[in-house]
Amino acid sequence: MEKISGSQAVIKSLIKENVDTIFGYPGGAIMPIYDALYGYKEDITHILVRHEQGAIHAAQGYARASKKCGIVFATSGPGATNLITGLADAMIDSTPVVCITGQVHSSLLGTDAFQETDVIGISMPVTKWNIQITKSQDIPNAIAKAFYIAKSGRPGPVLIDITKDAQFDLLNFDYEFCKHIRSYFPFPIINKKEIKNAAKEINKSKRPLLVIGQGIILSNAENALLDFVKKTDIPVASTLLGLGAFPNKHKNYVGYLGMHGNYAPNIMTNECDLLIAIGMRFDDRVTGNTDKYAKQAKVIHIDIDKAELNKIIPAHYTIHADAKEALNELTSVVFEKKHSNWNREFEILEKQELNQVIYKSIKPKSGKIKMAEVINLLTKKADKNTIVTTDVGQHQMVTSRYYKYENTRTNITSGGLGTMGFALPAAIGAKLGAKNKTVIAIIGDGGFQMNIQELGTIMQSNIDIKMIILNNNFLGMVRQWQEMFFNKRYSFTDIQNPNFIKIAEGYGIKGKKIENRALLDRGMDQLLKSKGSFLLEIICEKEENVFPMVKTGCSVSEIILK
């Protein structure tokens, strides 16, 4: 064993865990760790962000594109507290992130020293696990444990807070990978009886509906899902975070669920006789009014997180299991069936939405450019392996509805927390996590300005990101609600924007602004064929609404088309 400092132990531990990229921002309390990192430039790439929130969102994008943990460095006090939004986002969206924060000297803890905050207390509700280290010899074990917890079971963020003296003090370095933690059982043992009972319901069902979430992606169950659907012929609907887990062009794919989802799967949720939910948590945006949700159906719920079972929607059959394992087991015992008539009922409703909403949105005959026609054009031109990151708002819902996700891990968005400012830094992380793929950030004019400073990160690290701003000069989603439910009292949602193209040019990024529909096709080609980062700003219809929509308090079957 070699004797090294705590800060060196941090870097050596990360190298043992095959870390190749860190997103961070240096400061006083984490300076020893940054000094240790200086000697490992050949082993680890450090991306200097412009704000700690940018660091953790970039780490999320990296994790979701690469299947690895995202790594973040931040200093104490405001550096650490700036991570909280991203931690909460990663927690609710099950993203494996390891954050390492510096802390004041252990002798100063609790004294309100300069840049001291109780980051452990603050972050406890939004982390899967956190710990404060005051002794250097505890660093390797803490990091090994952090990676195990972040990646195993239902993934999530962890935070390690290391005091400055622990970073300086020496230790005998020895690294052992964590493979087990007492009382923590992230890999449930599948119950064969539960599988058999669920299979009986599937075999006798006449009108089954399969609802998939991000759990399919996190468990690498995409092929297992395809095999299950091929055998059972069950229609498949996706949650927001489940998009990409099942090819949108597959004959059994019936659409995207939720408040602004597709008409057919929302309606048919209250018409099916069996609802099979896999790797999803019955978020309120998916269920609408739970008192009116799928009351006619038997419910099978499969999830690796036991806490999600029977939490919101009571299930007749619960299977506490990894999604891939459960699907493989189910496929081996279910009957081969055809549900032709049932699938045709979805097609009838899909045509209603096509005629009343979609065609009018993607092929408008006049007026300003619509968001839907932009996304429709993009999905026709973009490579199917393109990774799309979205912010939060109308543009997010439009992208989710109109972009055709054919491959897994190509949809990176903020789901449960709904974090504006997510898309730009997440795109940075996604590009570094999947260097051979095109990454496009689709952002609203409001959200873009929340982390616009990360254009500096793109500039300094020479990262190739394509950006589309759908600019309607409004905080569009809030404005839509104000129009529909507050008698058009647009209270502080009309936003005055800067010259985005000039700002991008200031960071050495080329850009183009489009206001005329006739120039849209050429502008999209310019974006996709550009070498290096490019910003395409598209001026859209100012008061465009996103439909269909399930109003708050309504049943999913009360979804409106206009």
- Name the catalytic one among 16, 31, 67, 115: 115
3-state secondary structure (DSSP) of residue 301: strand
- Name the catalytic one among 91, 371, 420, 477: 477
Residue 234: closest CA among 196, 208, 216, 273: 208
Task: Supply the Cα-derived Rg of the chain in whole angstroms.
Answer: 24
Biggest alpha carbon distance in the chain?
73
3-state secondary structure (DSSP) of residue 83: coil
Q: Tokens 């051979």 appear where?
A: 436
What is the helix (H) or strand (E) element at residue 254, kind and residue range?
strand 253-256
Please provide residue 345's backbone torsions phi and psi, each rounded to the nearest 5 degrees: -65, -35
Tell me how far apart the alpha carbons of residues 6 and 3 are, in angstroms, rounded to a whole number.
10
C-alpha dihedral sign at 534, 446, 48, 508: positive
3-state secondary structure (DSSP) of residue 271: coil
- Name the catalytic one among 128, 164, 298, 370: 164
- Name the catalytic one among 2, 114, 335, 505: 114
- Name the catalytic one among 8, 17, 52, 450: 52
477 is known as an active-site residue: yes
Tokens of 33: 């760790």
* Cβ neighbours, 10 Å, residue 131: 17
73 is known as an active-site residue: no
Cross-strand partners of 466: 440, 534
164 is known as an active-site residue: yes
Residue 234: closest CA among 261, 282, 201: 201
Catalytic annotation, residues: 52, 114-115, 164, 477
